[in-house]
Structure 1
Amino acid sequence: MTYEEAYRELEQIAQEIEHETVSVDVLAEKVKRASDLITLCQTRLKATEGEINKIIARMEKNTEG
């Protein structure tokens, strides 16, 4: 699952909960799924941030040398 897919699904779950279109019987499932999606998104963002920081550090090193 891509970050964008996870984010879209998370938005959909949030809208369902906000508009109270989720029955009480499936609410816990939706909240659990949202939690999993948030974790996935955070992991992807942290990994991307790490990669960007490495690239920037290499670029800075190349301009200093």
Structure 2
Amino acid sequence: MAKKKISYKNAVEEIESIIDKIENGEPDVDELSELVKRAAGLIKDCKEKLKSTEENLSETLEELE
């Protein structure tokens, strides 16, 4: 099954929500592990989106020169 794409904005909001849960909710060890894994995946997705956007912008600007 293909991985569902999430928007950058939604990923950042979910990361912030996970941080809030960890800081304020005192999750048990199993839940903490899952939250950290999810956050790591979201951060990876965000980094990939930023890199792709940077490359696209650079290409576009080079075409304008």
Q: TM-score range by the shorter chain?
A: 0.7 to 0.9
Task: State whether structure 2 residue 27 is matched by structure 1 residue 27.
Answer: no
Q: Structure 2 unaligned runs (5+)?
A: 1-5
Query: Which residue is 1:50 aligned to?
Result: 55
Ranges of 4+ aligned residues in structure 1 off by more than 6 Å: none
State the Cα distance separating 1:18 from its structure 2 match.
1.9
What TM-score does the superposition give when structure 2 sets the normalisation length? 0.83
CA RMSD of aligned residues (A): 0.9
Q: Structure 1 unaligned runs (5+)?
A: 61-65
Task: State whether structure 2 residue 21 is matched by structure 1 residue 16.
Answer: yes
State the Cα distance separating 1:25 from its structure 2 match.
2.9
Structure number having the greater helix percentage: 1
Question: Computing the radius of gyration over CA atoms, which structure comes out larger, 1 or 2?
Answer: 1
What TM-score does the superposition give when structure 1 sets the normalisation length? 0.83
> How many percent identity over aligned positions?
39
